Amino acid sequence: MADIKRARMALVQWILEGPGHALATERGAAFANAGLAGPLASLVDKVAKCSYKITDEDIAGAKAAGRSEDQLFELIVCAATGQAARQYDTALAALDAAADQE
Amino acid sequence: MRLAILDHGHSAGTKVLFALIRIASRQPVLDVIKLAKYRPDFLRLQEITHEAMRGPSTWSIADRELMAAFVAKSNQCEWCTRAHSAVAARASQDRDRIAAVLSDLESAPIEDALRATLRMLGRLTREHSVTPDDMRALLASGVSREQIEDALAVCFAFNITARLANAFGFAMPTAAAFESGAKYLLARGYR
């Protein structure tokens, strides 16, 4: 079986706790899609829920709110990974619940 | 791409690598490679993607590439859908089968276990959750727990990559460039 648990833990730990241009607290907020405000909150929410709707204006708005490109790179990576991780965890929990009832 | 650093912010050594890729493939460097090579110390996605796509699994490589394309389509990411359709078509030697699944999963000529698994991945990607009943139905259709976990690993990797492709605005290359990329991914994997 493909074992992604260790690689997944390393991926998540690194983007949240490793060195970066964005504050760790802001990276954590992007990962959780919670606790941000303004254009950054809007961008992060789109990354999580409807990334196909993101436009040049979304990026420009987040830059105008004072974020550098490297900070936005990190925050978008955190937002994408956070939502994918929640989906993955939800699915594994559903699988466990289904197996328990067998 | 929407962030100039992803087009032009690479180290001198990486820029030399890109020049070599352009010469060897006779194609422009794909945006996904530019992303993977920009600060790989921060975005460590290649290892997890390689394990999900090429690690041990009872799903074939063609099946897993099809799952990647299906997850991408469910994220409305045309770039990743086309990229992994090309890999799946090359791996399966059956372009029509891949096109049929992406056009209409329910009528596509594929095995019931794969169809049920793709159905679950589609729901998880579009609705962000699945229920124990969904999983019970999947298990009852003959898909093993290990197969479900392997499919979820593929889904995890491409639920990240498709979002990044959409957010960063990957430029759509020619079909020939996707074919060149598919050939590379089948020969070398994702590392």
pLDDT reported for residue B100: 98
Q: Is the ipTM of this complex over 0.90?
A: yes
The pLDDT, as a whole number, for residue A3 is 76
Per-residue confidence at A102, pLDDT binned at 50, 70, 90? Answer: low
Taking 90 as the threshold, does the pLDDT of residue B59 lie above it? yes
Which residues make Cβ contacts (< 8 Å) with residue B108, sequence separation at least 6?
Answer: B97, B100, B101, B115
Taking alpha carbons only, the member of A42, A65, A78 closest to residue B44 is A78
Q: pLDDT, tens digit, for every residue of B102-147?
A: 999 999 999 999 999 999 999 999 999 999 999 999 999 999 999 9
Contact check, Cβ <8 Å, A51/B77: yes
User: What is the structure's pLDDT at A51?
Assistant: 98
- Chain A residues within an 8 Å CB radius of B2: 54, 56, 59
A29-41 per-position pLDDT tens digit = 999 999 999 999 9
What would the two tokens of residue B101 be? 């699944």
Q: Report CB contact under 8 Å: A47, B149.
A: no
Chain B residue at shortest CA distance from A82 = B160
Instruction: Indicate the Cα dihedral angle B109, A84, B138, B62, nearest 10°.
Output: 30
User: Mean pLDDT over all residues of chain A?
Assistant: 95
* Interatomic CA distance for residues B48 and B139, integer angstroms: 25
Q: What whole-number distance in Å separates Cα of residue A95 and Cα of residue B166?
A: 29
pLDDT of residue A100: 81
Nearest CB neighbour to B3, from listed A69, A80, A94: A69
Asked if A95 lies within 8 A of B76 by C-beta distance, the reply is no
Residue A2 has pLDDT above 80, yes or no: no
Q: Which two tokens stand for residue B139?
A: 């298990």
* CATH number of B44-188, picked from 3.50.50.60, 1.20.1290.10, 1.20.1740.10, 1.10.150.240: 1.20.1290.10
Give the pLDDT of residue A5. 83
Question: Can you list the alpha helix ranges (DSSP code H) found in chain A?
Answer: 5-17, 24-32, 38-49, 56-64, 69-100
* Nearest-neighbour CA in chain A from B26: distance (Å): 29
Q: Which residues contact B157 (CB under 8 A, 6 or more apart)?
A: A4, A84, B45, B48, B49, B52, B53, B68
Cβ contacts of residue B50 below 8 Å, gap of 6+?
B189, B190, B191
Q: Which of residues 9-68 of A touch B (CB under 8 A)?
A: 10-11, 14-15, 18, 20, 46-49, 51-52, 54, 56, 59
Residues of B in contact with A30 (CB under 8 A): none
Cβ–Cβ below 8 Å for A4 and B57? no
pLDDT score recorded for residue A6: 85
- Say yes or no to pLDDT of B22 above 80: yes
Domain boundaries, chain B: 44-188
Whole-angstrom Cα distance, residue A69 to residue A63? 7
Yes or no: say if A73 and B38 are a contact pair by the CB < 8 Å rule: yes
Mean pLDDT of B16-39: 94
Closest to B150 (Cβ–Cβ): which among A2, A8, A85? A2
Query: Taking residues A60-84, what's their average pLDDT?
Result: 97
Q: Is B150's pLDDT higher than 70? A: yes
